[in-house]
C-alpha cells in the first residue's frame, strides 16, 4: 500500500502538477512544517498569503528556495 502523505511532499514526474501544501491533511501539514522548519501556524499563514503551491510557500517563508535542484534529483532517485 502506498503512503499518500509522502506523495504529497514531492513531485512525481516532470510536467505533473507542482507540489501542493494540503492544510486539510494533518500529517502532510506536519511534514511540510518539519521540512520547512516552521510551525504549523506559520505554514498556515504562508499558505493564506501566497496559496498552496509549495515553491511559493517556501519562497515566502525562506526568502529563497532552500531545496536545490540537486536535492530534488536525489529525492527522485531515492524512489
Tell me, yes or no, if the pTM score tops 0.75: no
Low-confidence stretches of the chain (pLDDT beneath 70):
1-18, 64-72, 75, 79
Digit-coded pLDDT (tens) for 34-53: 999 999 999 999 999 999 99
Find the DSSP H helices in 1-79: 4-7, 26-36, 40-50, 54-62, 69-77
Instruction: Name the residue ranges covered by the structural domains of the chain.
Output: 20-77
Q: Report the mean per-residue pLDDT for the chain.
A: 78
Backbone angles phi, psi at 32, to 5 degrees: -65, -40
Amino acid at each position: 500500500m502506498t503512503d499518500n502523505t509522502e506523495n504529497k511532499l514531492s513531485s512525481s514526474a516532470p510536467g505533473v502538477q507542482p507540489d501542493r501544501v494540503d492544510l486539510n491533511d494533518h500529517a502532510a501539514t506536519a511534514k511540510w512544517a518539519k521540512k520547512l522548519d516552521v510551525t504549523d501556524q506559520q505554514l498556515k499563514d504562508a499558505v493564506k498569503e501566497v496559496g498552496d503551491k509549495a515553491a511559493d510557500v517556501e519562497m515566502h517563508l525562506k526568502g529563497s528556495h532552500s531545496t536545490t535542484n540537486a536535492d530534488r534529483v536525489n529525492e527522485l532517485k531515492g524512489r
